[in-house]
């Protein structure tokens, strides 16, 4: 182990655990301040998200969204890019899903519609990421600024479309018509009643998300393109001297990232809502940033972090019901603390841990 390096189990396991423990410790202090028992709150949160089959189904449903947006952010991370536009890319991805479902749902079964919905969501999300990618690669416009701008543009675009071209005839609601059976992914409870998921909307898009994790792992760690992406992210100057085109890497990486974010809409639009409507994204794109940070931009870590945030979403709903003093706003505070410690304060424990695990000679050499 060279100077400055940590064992993998420390970097990918111990440090995220300490960050998470610190976040929950501070959250416990907040719960005490409002007059509730933090141990009871933790028990309710765990029971509501994992303690019974239907609650676990909701946890998996939320986790599916986070897997897609977390993968989107992670792919960009590996190229040294910060794609903060997952919210808008997922929103526009819903347009791709809706077009496929509205065109095919009355004529073919769902398993014929699904590949077209996946392609439509990925193409729409990638297209929405293309302009920020091109501006970064060709004009030097910072991708954070342009993707934030495109988030707001996507919100206005979808409001316009859902109030005009895509609006259900004769309806006052800004939404499309409800999809027929050919545009609906089956719930896992319908396919496997023995799971006991009840009314939880977890559906087969969970399998699509897990397949995306495998494909991202293969892309980043087992292909030439993935090696070029990681090389460019580690040292852009050296990568350029080695013959790697920065324009090509930036554009391709952002297209993949946007496509993954767009695929989140499969779970919400085709798997749960069964229609395109306003604000179906509800912050999943931004939480994906924390998921990618906590998961160390690795698919396995992203799956685990997604389940954690799924637990916070579902367990938080149970918690606000069982403990009225803990409102939904308090749950958002707890989620924010997890994001804070997993992201902004990620290096808080690292210096001390490095002193524990880095050989003394290597540490002295680094300090010298």
pLDDT of residue 323: 85
Q: Tell me, what DSSP letter sits at residue 183?
A: G
Instruction: Count Cβ neighbours within 10 Å for each residue of 51-90 and write b for 16 or more, e otherwise.
Output: eeebbbbbbbbbbbbbbbbbbbbbbbbbbbbebbbbbbbb
Q: Is residue 226 situated within a structural domain?
A: yes
Domain ranges, residue 157: 64-299
User: Which residues, given as ranges, of the chain have pLDDT below 70?
Assistant: 1-4, 343-346, 358-368
The number of distinct structural domains making up the chain is: 1
pLDDT of residue 72: 97
Q: Is residue 29 situated within a structural domain?
A: no
Q: Is residue 38 situated within a structural domain?
A: no
Q: Is residue 318 situated within a structural domain?
A: no
Q: Is residue 137 situated within a structural domain?
A: yes
CA–CA separation, 72 vs 132, rounded Å? 15
Q: Is residue 295 situated within a structural domain?
A: yes
Q: Is residue 43 situated within a structural domain?
A: no
Q: Is residue 305 situated within a structural domain?
A: no
Strand, helix or coil for residue 152: helix
> 38-50 and 299-322 helices cross at what angle (nearest 10)?
120
Question: To which residue do tokens 């309710």 refer?
Answer: 44
What is the reported pTM? 0.91
pLDDT of residue 35: 85
pLDDT of residue 160: 94
**Which residue in 98, 123, 63, 86 sits closest to 278, CA to CA?**
98
**Which residue in 128, 119, 122, 117 sits closest to 158, CA to CA?**
128
Q: In sequence order, which residues have a C-beta less than 8 Å from that of residue 265 and are 6 or more positions away?
A: 90, 91, 93, 94, 96, 97, 121, 125, 280
Listed in sequence order, the DSSP H helices in the chain are 8-9, 15-33, 38-50, 53-78, 86-104, 110-134, 143-162, 188-191, 205-222, 224-234, 236-241, 246-262, 264-265, 284-294, 299-322, 328-339, 350-357, 360-367
**Which residue in 38, 44, 11 sits closest to 25, CA to CA?**
38
pLDDT of residue 1: 43
pLDDT of residue 367: 57
* Signed CA dihedral, 80, 125, 270, 218: sign only: negative
pLDDT of residue 343: 66
């Amino acid at each position: 182990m060279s100077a400055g390096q940590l064992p993998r189990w420390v970097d990918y396991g111990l440090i995220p655990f300490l960050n998470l423990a610190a976040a929950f410790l501070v959250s416990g202090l907040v719960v005490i301040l409002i007059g509730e028992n933090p141990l009871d709150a933790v028990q309710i949160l765990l029971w509501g998200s994992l303690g019974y089959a239907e609650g676990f189904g909701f946890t998996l449903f939320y986790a599916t969204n986070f897997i897609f947006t977390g993968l989107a952010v992670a792919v960009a991370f590996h190229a040294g890019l910060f794609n903060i536009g997952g919210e808008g890319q997922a929103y526009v991805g819903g347009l791709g899903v809706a077009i496929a479902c509205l065109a095919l749902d009355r004529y073919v079964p769902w398993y014929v519609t699904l590949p077209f919905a996946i392609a439509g969501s990925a193409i729409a999300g990638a297209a929405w990421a293309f302009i920020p990618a091109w501006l970064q690669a060709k004009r030097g416009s910072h991708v954070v600024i342009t993707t934030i701008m495109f988030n707001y543009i996507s919100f206005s675009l979808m409001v316009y479309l859902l109030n005009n071209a895509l609006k259900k005839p004769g309806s006052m609601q800004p939404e499309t018509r409800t999809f027929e059976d050919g545009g609906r992914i089956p719930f896992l409870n319908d396919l496997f009643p023995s799971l006991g998921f009840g009314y939880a909307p977890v559906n087969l898009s969970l399998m699509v998300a897990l397949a995306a994790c495998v494909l991202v792992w293969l892309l980043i760690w087992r292909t030439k393109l993935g090696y070029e992406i990681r090389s460019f992210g580690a040292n852009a100057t050296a990568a350029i001297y080695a013959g790697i085109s920065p324009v090509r890497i930036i554009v391709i990486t952002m297209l993949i990232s946007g496509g993954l974010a767009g695929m989140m809409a499969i779970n919400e639009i085709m798997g749960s809502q069964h229609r395109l409507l306003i604000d179906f994204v509800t912050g999943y794109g931004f939480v994906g940033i924390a998921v990618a940070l906590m998961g160390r931009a690795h698919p396995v870590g992203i799956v685990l972090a997604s389940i954690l945030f799924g637990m916070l979403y579902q367990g938080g709903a149970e918690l606000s019901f069982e403990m009225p003093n803990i409102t939904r706003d308090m749950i958002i505070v707890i989620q924010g603390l997890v994001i804070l410690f997993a992201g902004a304060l990620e290096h808080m424990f690292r210096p001390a841990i490095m002193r524990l695990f880095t050989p003394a000679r290597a540490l002295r050499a680094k300090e010298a």
